[in-house]
């Protein structure tokens, strides 16, 4: 075969591989959504879970998932961004920074069940937080922080050095260059990293079993005292997320309509993650265009 034929064959192989991945993902998404779609209604989305009889809902579990996402990302994003800025803009290339990068890559592949046991010993027992959303948020921060630092570092390194040098030549300080030149150019990549970290929060269950707990008290959305036991905004109360609820329903099998609840919960979780990713990417493109002046 000549060079042109080899190029066409390679291109076809690439398209075939990409098509197989898309078909597999679409089939998986369609299977989960179709199986659980018949169970989704307003009562199911807003109702409270029932442990002994049929007819329970997943309203508190959806709220706990989003609230835990907020608590976790409020810690992960600033710390990860600052760590990425330090490694990219300030740290020198030596044995110490190489050791930091090696430690970050090692922590990125740490099993979530190990993080859950670590959170049980440190956050739940030693810090006295108990089974709470705060302990779960700290455990998720341990999981996502190395990933966020690594993604932030790689994204900031893609910003051309000419932009930094031009800003410094115009009299801007180092910090002004980072805030007004480097970060706006890196916004699309940073948003992608945040989406990846947020997706792990939605789907995480193993680490939350030992930190956030598997129960949710009756939530009074009219109670705005964040330290009240029934306040939904109380970070020190236990909270069962949607992923943990799916695991619990399938493992304990205490309700008669276990299949309906499990299928419906899985479909809602899949749709929530998909909708969150689409919305975040739309906001990233819009913000990128505004910062670029287009």
pLDDT, tens digit, 9 for 90 and up, residues 148-171 = 999 899 899 888 888 888 888 888
Cα distance between residue 203 and residue 289, in whole Å: 30
Inside any domain, residue 16: no
Cα distance between residue 72 and residue 19, in whole Å: 35
Cα distance between residue 49 and residue 61, in whole Å: 8
Predicted pLDDT at 43: 79
Predicted pLDDT at 39: 79
Name the more confident of 279 and 136. 136
Write the CATH number for 237. 1.10.3720.10
Per-residue HEC secondary structure of the chain comes to: CCHHHHHHHHHHHHHHHHHHHHHHHHHHHHHHHHHHHCCCCHHHHHCCCCCCCCCCCCHHHHHHHHHHHHHHHHHHHHHHHHHHHHHHHHCCCCHHHHHHHHHHHHHHCCCHHHHHHHHHHHHHHHCCCCCCHHHHHHHHHHHHHHHHHHHHHHHHHCCCHHHHHHHHHCCCCHHHHHHHHHHHHCHHHHHHHHHHHHHHHHHCCHHHHCCCCCCCCCCCCCCCCCCCCCCCCCCCCCCCCHHHHHHHHHHHCCCCCHHHHHHHHHHHHHHHHHHHHHHHHHHHHHHHHHHHCC
Inside any domain, residue 17: no
Inside any domain, residue 26: no
The stretch 178-203 carries a mean pLDDT of 84
Inside any domain, residue 96: yes
Q: Which domain holds residue 152?
A: 38-292
Percent of the chain at pLDDT > 90 equals: 26
Q: Is the pLDDT of residue 137 over 80?
A: yes
Task: Provide the domain count of the chain.
Answer: 1
pLDDT tens for residues 69-108? 999 999 999 999 999 999 888 888 888 888 888 888 888 8
pLDDT tens for residues 241-278? 888 888 888 877 666 777 788 888 888 888 888 888 88
pLDDT tens for residues 200-213? 888 888 899 899 88
Taking alpha carbons only, the member of 244, 221, 245 closest to residue 232 is: 221
Inside any domain, residue 243: yes
Predicted pLDDT at 184: 84
Inside any domain, residue 249: yes
Inside any domain, residue 281: yes
Predicted pLDDT at 292: 60
CA 214-129-207 angle, 5° bins: 45
Inside any domain, residue 23: no
């Amino acid at each position: 075969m000549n060079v042109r034929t080899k190029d066409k064959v390679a291109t076809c192989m690439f398209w075939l591989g990409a098509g197989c991945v898309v078909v597999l993902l679409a089939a998986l998404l369609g299977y989960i959504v179709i199986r659980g779609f018949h169970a989704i209604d307003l009562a199911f989305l807003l109702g409270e879970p029932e442990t002994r009889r049929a007819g329970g809902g997943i309203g508190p579990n959806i709220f706990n998932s989003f609230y835990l996402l907020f608590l976790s990302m409020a810690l992960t994003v600033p710390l990860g961004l600052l760590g990425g800025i330090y490694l990219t803009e300030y740290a020198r290339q030596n044995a110490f920074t190489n050791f930091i990068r090696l430690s970050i890559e090692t922590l990125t592949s740490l099993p979530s069940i190990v993080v859950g046991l670590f959170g049980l010993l440190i956050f739940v027992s030693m810090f006295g937080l108990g089974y709470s959303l705060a302990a779960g948020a700290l455990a998720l921060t341990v999981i996502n922080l190395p990933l966020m630092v690594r993604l932030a570092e790689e994204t900031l390194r893609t910003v051309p050095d000419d932009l930094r040098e031009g800003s410094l030549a115009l009299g801007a300080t180092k910090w002004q260059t980072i805030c007004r030149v480097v970060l706006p150019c890196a916004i699309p990549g940073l948003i992608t990293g945040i989406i990846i970290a947020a997706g792990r929060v939605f789907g995480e269950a193993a680490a939350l079993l030992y930190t956030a707990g598997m129960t949710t008290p009756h939530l009074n959305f009219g109670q705005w005292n964040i330290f009240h036991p029934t306040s939904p905004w109380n970070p020190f109360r236990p909270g069962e997320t949607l992923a943990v609820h799916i695991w619990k329903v399938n493992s304990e099998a205490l309700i008669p309509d276990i299949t309906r609840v499990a299928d419906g919960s899985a479909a809602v979780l899949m749709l929530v993650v998909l909708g969150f990713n689409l919305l975040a990417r739309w906001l990233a493109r819009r913000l990128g265009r505004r910062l670029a002046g287009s």
